[in-house]
Structure 1
């Protein structure tokens, strides 16, 4: 830990719950709790895990003329997604791109009726807010008085409905406001674990009380960054700064699906975002590399930076591991790398681990099917 790192409103609760705190994106965050990463991971898959994600940036984009379409059109100059077509009370996944067509960050954006709510990565929050600050016709307002909790797993709906009746009517990617003890909660049915679940934006005044109310349920364990990473990796979900960065394009990251037809071809809304020419050409012609899943043989995890080769000896690397670790729910190591898209699933390659090459097999993503409530 460092005195220069920021602390979320749940820091003291994390310490009380046995959290092992580490520096992460300028914050002191729990990497695990007393139960340990393996137990936290499997418990989330079986019941429900509570994650403190208050370090992520929450940002409001408010149209100055009161017309939500003004904000939507402004956001479409930065995000290659259908912002204008997003209905009130719904949210989508999107990307910020740079002029070369690389990814500056990934984010969620939601239509709250008279403004948009964006949730961006902690490490990119300051640059994203500055990026949004160049938009005309809107006010960009960082949210500084709310925390954010993710409740993930098959029991998440049952648990949250005990505290907040009505959330069980929500479907995947819905966003609604609810009252809890005189506080207004912004609740979305989403998450980044592959499990059904919710993200709950809570006023700081009620953040700890709400977290404790969740933990009072026997189905809920606090979960740290370690299991959060293994859960998203099993779900085949890319992580910014690892599987995508300013030198990785949407097509290479396997995120072309987030750019709909209306932003790709023909019509007034096609293109118009940073790097559009490069991004759209690559979506049409296909990328030279793309994010692929890998299943190493044995039990040893293969982590970020490990080189991948075509043969057991010699040759130049085909690529490097971007994300890797042990997948408790799939019972073995899993990894992702940017590789030639023409290599078929089942292809055997070699990873050089501590001077020795071990076999890995290209596997389809995700490693574990998602269980969202559609």
Structure 2
């Protein structure tokens, strides 16, 4: 017998709004609403969309020198992360692969960490075992809502004026309808927006208040995936995994200079070597020339018929107006403009290597 999927605090609202519910990482989540994936995608690009991301793991780290201790298991600099600032990071394993990617925020008296839903069972024991003297507490009594898009500041700021003052990758406690919420200016769509941690018994009321804004509509997992793909953002389990190094995945920007030079994190020997000498493969953007989308697992060949890589994520890009994909190709084939073939249902389909992202990211710096 398998466990029944868990439900987020917003489940009843999803059903009321006509959400099509699916099992995702052990959670019953809306893949789309009556507006449809294309409409929800465009809503986020043009106005604002509300996503339920309560399935993500929310974790509180308390103790002395938490940032410094995190540096033993992550290649990022966290010891000097200022209060009110958030940073993208990842756990690496001893082979230099990525165990999971995450957002770490300095919340003042503790660090607030958000990990991927499917990996909380790995990440939380990993932190408990590795962070000596740090109290690691998973938060089960809060929902997590993302409001994303060019109108997100008006939607959230209309209820919490202090949110307007936050810049990209900043976080603060704000009052929304009399409820203390953690508001972080970040997201997974390439658009400006916020992720808001809310007491679970207040989540539906606050979600309704956001959705009452004329520019805000609900959006599901389908639009979230097409938005992040157009923005060139990696999905754990597709574009990055335990075998992928940050250098291969074009995530070197997330390793600060001191850590690149000093090392001292799991897998640092491989990662420092790749930073210095390059990698055997690289994550690239791919634009199929036809209308057929290239899904995960599609083989990439050079024009001579040799296999040079594989698609890791792909689908239709509504903003781009055609299919878009990401995948790994052998070193030397990663330059934008290189013509390749994608083997889709046994037939070679022409495509081109392109620079990421497909759509310009619109964060508020």
**Per-residue deviation at 1:287?**
1.0
Unaligned runs of 5+ in 1: none
Q: Deviations over 1:98-124 (max 9, x none)?
A: 110000000000001111000000001
User: Helix, strand or coil for the counterpart of 1:281?
Assistant: helix
Residue 360 of structure 1: aligned partner: 351
Mapping of residues 271-310 of structure 1, within 5 Å: 271-310=263-302
TM-score (norm 2): 0.97
Residue 224 of structure 1: aligned partner: 220
**Per-residue deviation at 1:182?**
3.5
TM-score (norm 1): 0.95
**Per-residue deviation at 1:311?**
2.4
Q: Is the Cα contact below 8 Å between 1:102 and 1:249 reproduced in 2? A: yes
Residue 12 of structure 1: aligned partner: 12
Q: Which deviates further from its counterpart, 171-180 or 334-343?
A: 334-343
Unaligned runs of 5+ in 2: none
Q: How far apart are the structure 2 equivalents of 1:181 and 1:357?
A: 56
Q: How far apart are the structure 2 equivalents of 1:341 and 1:319?
A: 10
Asked whether 1:333 is paired with 2:323, we answer: yes
Mapping of residues 38-187 of structure 1, within 5 Å: 38-63=38-63, 67=64, 70-134=65-129, 135-187=131-183
Q: How far apart are the structure 1 equivalents of 2:331 and 2:355?
A: 12
Q: How far apart are the structure 2 equivalents of 1:318 and 1:181?
A: 54
Q: How far apart are the structure 2 equivalents of 1:340 and 1:89?
A: 40
Q: How far apart are the structure 2 equivalents of 1:258 and 1:322?
A: 21
Runs (4+) off by over 4 Å: none
Q: Is the Cα contact below 8 Å between 1:74 and 1:137 reproduced in 2? A: no
Asked whether 1:264 is paired with 2:260, we answer: yes
Aligned-residue CA RMSD (Å): 1.1
Q: How far apart are the structure 2 equivalents of 1:277 and 1:367?
A: 32
**Per-residue deviation at 1:3?**
6.1
User: Helix, strand or coil for the counterpart of 1:133?
Assistant: helix
Q: Deviations over 1:77-116 (max 9, x none)?
A: 0111010121100000001001100000000000011110
Q: How far apart are the structure 1 equivalents of 2:232 and 2:125?
A: 30
Q: Is the Cα contact below 8 Å between 2:177 and 2:206 reproduced in 1? A: no
